[in-house]
Amino acid sequence: MTTNTALLSNKNAHINSVNGVNVDQINYVIESINADTAFGEFQFRARNCWVSGGLNRSQIKGFHAGGREDGTRSKPFTLDADEPQLVAGNDSAPNSMEYVLHALVSCLTGTLVYHAAVRNITVNSVSSKIEGDMDVRGLLGMADDVRKGFHHVRVIMQVESDAGVETLTELALFSPVYDIVSKSLPVELQIRKA
Amino acid sequence: MTTNTALLSNKNAHINSVNGVNVDQINYVIESINADTAFGEFQFRARNCWVSGGLNRSQIKGFHAGGREDGTRSKPFTLDADEPQLVAGNDSAPNSMEYVLHALVSCLTGTLVYHAAVRNITVNSVSSKIEGDMDVRGLLGMADDVRKGFHHVRVIMQVESDAGVETLTELALFSPVYDIVSKSLPVELQIRKA
């Protein structure tokens, strides 16, 4: 069986690293997509199982990338979600809204660092704060005119780099999760009886 | 200092539990919001620090709910994000896209279970699969007409319950993360030089 290991460039060569990112590997991905766009069609996945009350658990392992099923991950990541005590949970894990904030801020950070690396822009540090406001009347079905999710999200990123704020902002806005949260995306939901 | 513990209803009374959800506690939240809508204005937060390359780390602790700052969480949750090897990461944690999928499927699950509990609908099990498709040419800046995030997300939830598919779907669609992902939401991003 071929694994994605075969897709790694310059395994034994000198690594061209900027901001801790192997830029040759990213350029290899770009060249591979230029040769065949199917290389860039990625699919990520999760399985989730409800435990009880506010607690449920995801397992994350398989994904499709570089024109094939991944063969590099040997075991799944496990992520729990729970609810704070106020809303009848045991607070054993972050809740789903907090996972959205983590997804967004981690994606803005990674995207900024990677795009900077490819442009040979050094980034020394990134520290961020993110907040999401919601009016839970929407979620609870108490007011039809109140949206269910966050109505405002604010992110402040403190970046140490030679590049200016305008350039850094441009780089961060390549973020896929920023795209998902800020723009609409149809979600196909199918519920089946077990 | 008053803590959110004071907001918990019937701590010593018999718990009216459906699907493992303390329904009296949820009804207490609803009644409190009816008395004062500020009780339902929640704010969740995360702080994130870039480590190196594809690795960054969020700390999640404080939040505002029930008209006050939370005082029940004694320590933060820590969540890492990393990237698979193919895209120059060390794959030590899920990536941001996988966190989005976990946030969405965990939220659909929790919302379905909670709304069922309040309506006295028993749910015996929920197992779900979620997939998100993306064309990374958008993220990599290789094609302006390709979106950066997922272009399709599919969720299949297998639910064991006396309620029908139509009712279960209606309950799941109160999900705040479904709202965030499926609809647009302006994100205010501010980058500052450190």
Identify the bridge partners of residue A77 per DSSP, sorted by sequence position: A60
ipTM score of complex = 0.94
> Is the pLDDT confidence value at B68 over 70?
yes
**Average pLDDT of chain A, as a whole number:** 94
Confidence of residue B9 (pLDDT cuts 50, 70, 90): low
CB B102 within 8 A of CB A81: yes
Question: How high is the pLDDT of residue A5?
Answer: 43
**Phi (first) and psi of residue B85, to 5 degrees:** -60, -40
Rounded to a whole number of angstroms, the distance from the CA of A17 to the nearest CA of chain B is 9
Shortest alpha-carbon distance between residue B54 and chain A (Å): 6
pLDDT in tens, B125-145: 999 999 999 999 999 999 999
C-beta atoms of B148 and A178 within 8 A: yes
Is B5's pLDDT higher than 80?
no
pLDDT band at B14 (very low <50, low <70, confident <90, very high): confident
Q: Which residues of A touch B83 (CB under 8 A)?
A: 110
Predicted confidence band at A13 (pLDDT cuts at 50, 70, 90)?
A: low
Q: So what's the pLDDT on residue B4?
A: 42
Interchain proximity B160–A60, CB inside 8 Å: no
- Render pLDDT for A81-119 as a digit per residue (tens, 0 to 9): 999 999 999 999 999 999 999 999 999 999 999 999 999
A113 contacts on B by Cβ (under 8 Å): 50, 53-54
From A53, A140, A173, residue closest to B19, measured CB to CB: A53
At residue B30, the pLDDT reads 98
Are A141 and B29 a contacting pair at CB < 8 A? no
What CA–CA distance (Å, rounded) separates B58 from A129? Answer: 9
- The β-bridge partners of A127 are A158, B49
Mean pLDDT over residues A47-56, rounded? 98
Contact between B77 and A93 using a beta-carbon 8 Å cutoff: yes
Residues A32, A6: Cα–Cα separation, whole Å: 13
CB A80 within 8 A of CB A48: no
pLDDT score for B8: 54
How many CB atoms neighbour CB B131 within 10 A?
Answer: 19
pLDDT of the residue at A81: 98
Q: Give the integer Cα–Cα distance in Å for A111 and A171.
A: 7
Task: Assess contact for A186 and B147: CB atoms under 8 A.
Answer: no
Please report which confidence band the pLDDT of residue A2 belongs to, taking 50, 70 and 90 as the band edges: very low
Question: Is the separation of the CB atoms in A102 and B99 below 8 Å?
Answer: yes
Give per-residue pLDDT as tens, A109-162.
Answer: 999 999 999 999 999 999 999 999 999 999 999 999 999 999 999 999 999 999
Q: In A179-194, which positions are buried (b, 16+ CB within 10 angstroms) versus exposed (e)?
A: bbbbeebebebebeee
pLDDT tens per residue, range B156-182: 999 999 999 999 999 999 999 999 999
* Helix, strand, or coil (residue B55): strand
CA distances from A70 to A26, B86, B137 (A): 17, 9, 19
| Residues with Cβ within 8 Å of residue B183, at least 6 apart in sequence | A147, A149, A184
Candidates B96, B22, B132; CA nearest to A188 is: B132
| CA B26/CA B81 separation, integer angstroms | 33
Q: How confident is the model at residue A15 (pLDDT cuts 50, 70, 90)?
A: confident
Contact list in A for residue B127 (CB cut-off 8 A) is 47-50, 194
Count the Cβ atoms, other than its own, within 10 Å of residue B163.
18
Position B6 pLDDT exceeds 50: no
